[in-house]
Structure 1
Amino acid sequence: MEDINYRKMMGEYILYYKDKIIGGVYDDRLLIKQTDKAKEMIRDVVYELPYTKKKNKN
């Protein structure tokens, strides 16, 4: 699949298809970007955010 690429960022991975972000691997979870095509292909969708904890600024 030559059109799929990835980039490591801050210990996580961002996934690209034809240079557009399609998802990523966050905390050992594969998350797919919410698009009309993804919703059409994945029937039982569970929505999650990549990061759920707020960082404290001190």
Structure 2
Amino acid sequence: MTNYKIRKHMDDLMVFAKTLPGSNVYYREDWDTIYFDLKGKKFGQFECITNDFFICLA
């Protein structure tokens, strides 16, 4: 999958996550990651390290 497609997929997931009741999607500077929480509980994060993208769903 190309970086463009991965970035597009990440953007789509962030837009969707923001629509979930009780969800927050925001950048965590201390972790250098896009962080997702649902009612204060972590449910995922995105990271980009040297053009490699990581998606972690907890």
Q: Is the TM-score greater than 0.5?
A: no
Question: Which structure would you say has the larger RCO, counting Cα contacts within 8 Å and 6 or more residues apart?
Answer: 2
Q: Which has the higher helix share?
A: 2
Report the TM-score range of the alignment, normalised by the length of the smaller protein. Answer: 0.3 to 0.5
Q: Which has the higher strand share?
A: 2
TM-score (norm 1): 0.44
